[in-house]
Amino acid sequence: MSKETVQSPYVMSGQFTPDNCALILIDHQVGTLQFVHTMSPEVSLRNAVMLAKAAKAYGMPVVLTTSQEDHVQGPTSPALQEALPEAYTNRIKRTGIVNAWADPNFSAAVRATGRKKLIMAAVTTDICLIFPAISAVQEGFDVLAVLDASGSAFDMQEEQARRRMATAGVVLTTTNTAIAELVQDWSTPQGSKLVPLIMASEPNTPGYAG
């Protein structure tokens, strides 16, 4: 955590903080994003980039993974490549394994962060997110699944994936809530940097980027 970060004495029990969690982004690839129809794929990507910027502001560990970049899934979105150049360079390139956690290189990279709390988003929710999120919980990690940085092709797929994750102990959340949980105090240097991101994501706000 940055030396400038001031930890509030009023931290919730089990709270995800910059000191105890890592950001995990799965399969935000230019082709895979086109499978998202339960929300705008552009909004899903924008929210993933917001999470990336929040993690970067706090110096949090980040793990990126992709699947079959030379197939229809395509490369990682350029916006994420730009936001997280180091994590992109070190990304785990899976050869087709559906459950990213089953790829030993990916799960080893997550364990290597030394963090037991994971903020996780993936495209899509019903395939790319559900399995590694549940697998990580079963291994003893706390997982915060960011639903509006994910998405599915159909509402039924999204709903059932959310239900199964929640039943398995995955905590469901949204981008703004996840970032606010990390920040806790907007007057900190990091908070001041991240407020404009939150404001730009709100409809009917000047500069809204939706």
Which residues does the annotation mark as catalytic? 128
Q: How many angstroms separate the CA atoms of 116 and 9, rounded? A: 21
Asked if residues 141 and 116 have their Cβ atoms less than 8 Å apart, the reply is yes
Q: How many angstroms separate the CA atoms of 176 and 16, rounded? A: 13
What is the DSSP-derived secondary structure letter of residue 71?
Answer: S
Asked if residues 78 and 68 have their Cβ atoms less than 8 Å apart, the reply is no
Residues in Cβ contact with 129 at an 8 Å cutoff, skipping those fewer than 6 apart: 26, 120, 121, 122, 123, 145, 150, 161, 165
Instruction: Give whole-number Cα distances, 164 to 16, 44, 116, in Å.
Output: 22, 21, 21
Q: What is the largest CA-CA distance in the chain?
A: 49
Chain centroid to CA 60? 12
